[in-house]
Amino acid sequence: MDKNVNIRSSGKCRNDISPGCIVDIILKEDQRSGKVTRGIVKEILTNSSVHPHGIKVRLRDGRVGRVVTILGSESNGDGK
């Protein structure tokens, strides 16, 4: 069961990500350095339910990368 928790927290499970989620991603050009970029998911690009390198998403600003951490959603903490 620990493996499932790890998969969810690391952005490898598609069901845990939806448009509006705040995530940290690694862009293709940053894969070697491991530099993380934060943004809000606009679109999920990976079709499979699980991906070993992280689910690929497009952020609202147009950048594309693989999710390494799911931080929450836009609606968290706004009183809704």
Domains and CATH numbers, the chain: 2-73 (2.30.30)
Residue with the two structure tokens 């990976």 = 46
Residue 46's SS3 state is coil
Query: In sequence order, what are the residues at sequence separation of 6 or more whose Cβ sits closer than 8 angstroms to the Cβ of residue 19?
Result: 41, 42, 43, 44
| Banded pLDDT at 76 (limits 50, 70, 90) | low
pTM of structure: 0.81
pLDDT tens digits for range 22-69: 999 999 999 999 999 999 999 999 999 999 999 999 999 999 999 999
pLDDT tens digits for range 10-32: 789 999 999 999 999 999 999 99
Instruction: Give the model's pLDDT for residue 73.
Output: 84
